Structure 1
Amino acid sequence: MEQIVFQFLKRLKIPISSQYVETFLLTHPEFPSLLSVSDLLENLKLVHSIKRINREEIESLESPCLILPERSAKGLISVLTSSNLRKLKSEIASQSLIVISVNPSLINSTNQQKSDFFQEKIKNGAEGLLKITLIVLLGLFLFSIDSIFDFFWVMTSIFGAVVSYLIFSKDLGFKFDVIDKFCNSGKKASCDEILQSEKSIVFGFLKFSDLIISLFVFQLVILGLFVLSDRSINEVWPLFMGIALLSIPAVLYSVYLQYAVLKTWCKLCLIVSAILILQFGMLIGNFFDETIYWGVEDLLGTILLAISYPIILSLTFLVRSRTQEFNTFYQRAVHSERIKNSPKVFYDLLKQQNKAHYSPLYHELVIGNPNAPIKLIIVSNLYCAPCKVQHEEVSRLVESNKEYLSVSMRFVKINKQFNKDISSTQYLLQYWWDNIHNTEKESSLTEQLIHSWFSEMNVESFASSHPLKELKLSNEVKAMAELQEKWIEEIGVSKTPTIFINDYELPSLYTIADLHRILPDLAEYYFLENQHSNLKS
């Protein structure tokens, strides 16, 4: 599902990274339901609608859209044009469909999403450059081969390495849509059934996929070393003949296992078997034709080369083990995040935290919607680096949840002074009072003011760019600072930044960044809670 949604958004030219889409969907508490997709679109600020239709209404839909046939094995379908809709009607048997229609013209990506998208473009560019480099090196390698027999042998090794890589990847659980479709087409065809069978395990721990990818990588490494060192490739043929002789029983066992025991076929395994038989045939043919040299001039060197195969096999086994461990860890982490991102879990944990009465203070710095159902307080130190990071995250949180969120900023007492009568905190508050308080754009200007402070965290530099009208504290600002300090002392704040949400301290398991996923549903919880309280009263 996650790849279908990403490709859908990508084709709509929406600047979003595949990692962001995958992480959002997989860690959504309702994955793989369409609610997870809808929440993703909501998070991206994409205007969309969801409805259920009959199959006969398909052609009347507006594209682009995502369609999920109900009670059907067919998964989520991406539709970009009206012509796709007409074609789709003839392919879907299900009479009931759920449709998410999307308006791609209205989108407001956050800075973080733009940054992720840019980083992914750089990564994709680097991967593309690496592929081009490998292709060029491979071309130079093939160009340096002066024998037709050597050339075709190298081509079979490359093709075998590619197919065995696909088998190895599938064995580890990676999905390739085109390959999966190829493997499962036709009667009695299932690569996964063969690869996951206990019969495919050798010596109790090695798998068929380990052996074959190691074999072809071994061939390419040995051939590459000989070509680059200007040594004659003829020296490797006796070694390759020995390995080819050992591979024939493995090929016969693989075919027997598929035909007689499991009674199903792995097409990729059959391709590998065909390549190994072809290589064996090429060596046998040249052996009788005596077109290549079969003597062993350097016995010790040949033995050392042969030892490199078990080394490559051991590395392959290590890669498999570490990848499986990572996949297990990743799946557990995804499951944990899915639970963590549940609004109900967050709400219940929040209610178990230390309670601090909100009690709006006399004239304080607020950004966001003052009437929002969720009121967040961030207690900061003006010279605290982690506070700077959290204030930046708060800005992003407000940007994407303006209708749900109000953020009040309170500051701990600090000893750093602008002069003997005014502290750094008091200077900031006085500037806010003189220039921002009660203005039409109070929220956005307050946000800019805090950003300006934390970009420098130096009162002299700040004062030069934000001069006071008069170097004197007003009675209102004195009262503001005293009330904040008194409230912080009564609550018992011992560290900065400390976050409170609707009277409760943010659970230690969560950060402000986690709230991006939770706030919309959390606002609904508080809305229902307020309704219940009103009914009781």
Structure 2
Amino acid sequence: MIHLVKKYLDINRFSNEKPAFEDLFLSHPNYPSVFAITDSLDMLSIENIAIKVPKEQFPELPEAFLAIFKEELVLVHKKDGQIAIETAKAEKKQIPSNAFLEDWNGVIIAMEPNEAVTGKSVAFNYKGLQYGLPAVALIALSLAFNAYGLNHAITLITSVIGLIISIFIVQEKLGYKNEMVSKFCNINPNTSCDSVIKSNQSEINKWVGFSDLPLLFFGVNVLSVLLQPVGSVPIVGALSVISIPVIIYSVWLQKFKVKKWCVLCLAVSIVIVAQAVTFWMAFGSEVNIAFSNLYFYLFVSVLFASIWLLLKPVLEDKVKAEGSAKELKRFKRDYKLFDFLSKEIPVLDGFQRLEGLVFGNKNAEVNLAIIISPSCGHCHKAFQDAYELYLKFPEKVFLNVLFNINPENNENPYKPVVENLLALNHHDPKKAEEAIIDWHIKKMGLDQWKEKWAVTTIDMKANHQIHQQYHWCGANEFNYTPVKLINGKMFPNEYEISELKYFFNAFSEEKAIMENNSVQA
């Protein structure tokens, strides 16, 4: 399902949002569902809609959209009266419009294209460069310091190809999904790399499975040929010939036991056969392998196998940890849990009379208040997180910044910061916004800040608010900062302000219910 949405993001020029979407979608409490898709897109501020459309309006739909077809999500392309659909299993087929309409339930997910992107952007794969450059450097060094014949070059090239395919096999086994590989592996209904690689028949023992063998074989071959091509190529060829029975067993396993074809496994088999043919053509039945070359190959084999057997459990634990983290995120993003942890404010009376620095839409479903102090280091982060949430969702968030500072303590060097902020706010809220950003986000020094934002006189209203806010905090025993309040309740300590975006839909529904109840009353 996820690769269809990611492909749809590509079509609408949101390629840079794919990693963020994947993280939000997989950790959504309603995963996997249409709501999880649309909610995740909402959090990324991508305009989208999930709606049931009358079939008569089908011609008016965009050229590409997601739809529920035969009770599963598909990516739909309309062109010249034909419908091209792609399924979650990466299967593609062309069907006439009338055939599509018969099995389509009318539900679509559509999104607005990203108009901010003027040209086709090309994502640069830094990770590929990170691994590719050292590999190219090793091959270049080997070519520079060793004499390569045609059969040596062919063996090296086929071994590198085999190693790359082997890495894809291990990724499938561990659960790392690669879009390109998934397309090849599910090229038709009879192919499924996942079914073969993860089947019980593919396990040899608890340490090594058939999915490890290609990686070990080609990894050792590449390393040996790079370091000692002349001595290693005959051994690689001989082992390729010996491996033919294993290939036959692999094909039998796929055909009669699993009853699915693994495209990656077949590709590995072809590479090994190619190496065996190259060996037979170059050496025939007469081959002499020096003991020193055999010792070298065995040494490399033990070294590579030891490294892999040490590394494999680490990778498996990492995959399990990532899966657990997603499950925990899903649990944490359940609004019922957030609401349960949001405790009532002990003394709410008087809160509406507190006037601080306000940002955003006063009618927003999220009413966030933070009570901070200019001398508090943690308040810098609280304000920055809250302010960034407001900037990203100005229509959904109303931010109210209040202060907790003793008005009687004239020895507090930070008292003028609050006085000046509130005085500025009464006369020019825009300047007050710039001033609080200088203090909490840019972290300007006290003397420099006072020099820039000093107000000639502090009016009575500012002083009155300092007293009111301080006494209201005292009545609630808020003897600390920052204090975070959300929609008239205490913000749970178990959550970060940035995580509020996960609950926008829930807050909106809650607000609608409250408004409906008040109208009925």
Query: Normalising by structure 1, what TM-score?
Result: 0.81
Change (3 A) 1:98 1:377: same
Tell me which amino acid in the other structure corresponds to 1:168: V
Give me the whole-angstrom Cα distance separating, in 2, the residues matched to 1:138 and 1:346.
55
Change (3 A) 1:465 1:10: farther
In structure 1, the residue matched to 2:448 is 461
- The question of whether the paired residues in 2 share the 8 Å contact of 1:378 and 1:500 is answered with yes
Query: What SS class does the counterpart of residue 13 from structure 2 fall into?
Result: coil
2:223 is equivalent to residue 221 of structure 1: yes
Quote the RMSD (CA, aligned, Å). Answer: 3.5
Give me the whole-angstrom Cα distance separating, in 2, the residues matched to 1:49 and 1:408.
31
Change (3 A) 1:310 1:385: same
Give me the whole-angstrom Cα distance separating, in 2, the residues matched to 1:396 and 1:148.
61
- The question of whether the paired residues in 1 share the 8 Å contact of 2:373 and 2:403 is answered with yes
Deviation of 1:512 after TM superposition, in Å, equals: 0.2
Q: 1:315-394 maps to which residues of 2 (within 5 A)?
A: 315-350=307-342, 352=343, 355-357=346-348, 359-394=351-386
- The question of whether the paired residues in 2 share the 8 Å contact of 1:377 and 1:499 is answered with yes
Q: 1:25-64 maps to which residues of 2 (within 5 A)?
A: 25-53=25-53, 57-63=57-63
Match for residue 482 of structure 1 among 463, 467, 470: 467
- The question of whether the paired residues in 2 share the 8 Å contact of 1:4 and 1:78 is answered with no
Tell me which amino acid in the other structure corresponds to 1:278: A
Q: 1:153-232 maps to which residues of 2 (within 5 A)?
A: 153-185=155-187, 188-226=190-228
Q: Deviations over 1:372-417 (max 9, x none)?
A: 4543221222132321122111112112333343322222337999
- The question of whether the paired residues in 2 share the 8 Å contact of 1:190 and 1:264 is answered with yes
In structure 2, the residue matched to 1:114 is none
Give me the whole-angstrom Cα distance separating, in 1, the residues matched to 2:103 and 2:303.
53
- The question of whether the paired residues in 2 share the 8 Å contact of 1:142 and 1:151 is answered with no
- The question of whether the paired residues in 1 share the 8 Å contact of 2:371 and 2:403 is answered with yes
Q: Deviations over 1:335-377 (max 9, x none)?
A: 2212322333322331x46545162234333222334454322
Deviation of 1:5 after TM superposition, in Å, equals: 2.9
In structure 2, the residue matched to 1:278 is 274
- The question of whether the paired residues in 2 share the 8 Å contact of 1:171 and 1:209 is answered with yes
Deviation of 1:525 after TM superposition, in Å, equals: 0.8
Tell me which amino acid in the other structure corresponds to 1:279: Q
In structure 1, the residue matched to 2:125 is 124
Match for residue 247 of structure 1 among 228, 243, 246: 243
Deviation of 1:52 after TM superposition, in Å, equals: 2.0
Change (3 A) 1:22 1:188: closer
In structure 2, the residue matched to 1:20 is 20
2:101 is equivalent to residue 101 of structure 1: no
Give me the whole-angstrom Cα distance separating, in 1, the residues matched to 2:190 and 2:50.
39
Query: What SS class does the counterpart of residue 510 from structure 1 fall into?
Result: coil
Tell me which amino acid in the other structure corresponds to 1:325: D
Query: Normalising by structure 2, what TM-score?
Result: 0.84
Give me the whole-angstrom Cα distance separating, in 1, the residues matched to 2:423 and 2:512.
36
Deviation of 1:528 after TM superposition, in Å, equals: 1.3
Tell me which amino acid in the other structure corresponds to 2:475: E
Change (3 A) 1:383 1:90: farther
Change (3 A) 1:309 1:97: farther
Q: Deviations over 1:61-102 (max 9, x none)?
A: 135x522133344x33165xx648854363746232322333
Change (3 A) 1:184 1:523: closer
Give me the whole-angstrom Cα distance separating, in 2, the residues matched to 1:13 and 1:295.
57
Tell me which amino acid in the other structure corresponds to 1:412: N
Give me the whole-angstrom Cα distance separating, in 2, the residues matched to 1:154 and 1:55.
57
Tell me which amino acid in the other structure corresponds to 1:357: L
Query: More deviation in 489-498 or 479-488?
Result: 489-498
Deviation of 1:437 after TM superposition, in Å, equals: 1.1
Give me the whole-angstrom Cα distance separating, in 1, the residues matched to 2:15 and 2:264.
36
Give me the whole-angstrom Cα distance separating, in 2, the residues matched to 1:127 and 1:70.
36
Change (3 A) 1:310 1:257: farther
Over the matched positions of the two proteins, sequence identity in percent amounts to: 20
In structure 1, the residue matched to 2:68 is 69
Give me the whole-angstrom Cα distance separating, in 1, the residues matched to 2:2 and 2:327.
16
2:430 is equivalent to residue 430 of structure 1: no
Which segments of 5 or more consecutive residues in structure 1 lack a partner in the other structure? 109-117, 227-232
Tell me which amino acid in the other structure corresponds to 1:451: I
Give me the whole-angstrom Cα distance separating, in 1, the residues matched to 2:413 and 2:15.
40
Query: What SS class does the counterpart of residue 251 from structure 2 fall into?
Result: helix
In structure 1, the residue matched to 2:2 is 2
Q: 1:473-512 maps to which residues of 2 (within 5 A)?
A: 473-512=458-497
- The question of whether the paired residues in 2 share the 8 Å contact of 1:414 and 1:425 is answered with no
- The question of whether the paired residues in 1 share the 8 Å contact of 2:220 and 2:300 is answered with yes
Change (3 A) 1:446 1:16: farther
Change (3 A) 1:191 1:62: closer
Deviation of 1:164 after TM superposition, in Å, equals: 1.8
- The question of whether the paired residues in 2 share the 8 Å contact of 1:68 and 1:76 is answered with yes
Q: 1:496-535 maps to which residues of 2 (within 5 A)?
A: 496-532=481-517, 535=520
Tell me which amino acid in the other structure corresponds to 1:199: Q
Query: What SS class does the counterpart of residue 208 from structure 1 fall into?
Result: coil
Give me the whole-angstrom Cα distance separating, in 1, the residues matched to 2:15 and 2:461.
46
Give me the whole-angstrom Cα distance separating, in 1, the residues matched to 2:279 and 2:378.
67
Give me the whole-angstrom Cα distance separating, in 2, the residues matched to 1:141 and 1:97.
60
- The question of whether the paired residues in 1 share the 8 Å contact of 2:356 and 2:400 is answered with yes
Query: More deviation in 280-289 or 203-212?
Result: 280-289
Give me the whole-angstrom Cα distance separating, in 1, the residues matched to 2:76 and 2:132.
29
- The question of whether the paired residues in 2 share the 8 Å contact of 1:241 and 1:280 is answered with yes
Query: What SS class does the counterpart of residue 31 from structure 1 fall into?
Result: coil
Which segments of 5 or more consecutive residues in structure 2 lack a partner in the other structure? 85-94
Deviation of 1:284 after TM superposition, in Å, equals: 4.2
2:431 is equivalent to residue 449 of structure 1: no
Change (3 A) 1:262 1:399: closer
Give me the whole-angstrom Cα distance separating, in 2, the residues matched to 1:163 and 1:479.
72
Give me the whole-angstrom Cα distance separating, in 1, the residues matched to 2:223 and 2:406.
65
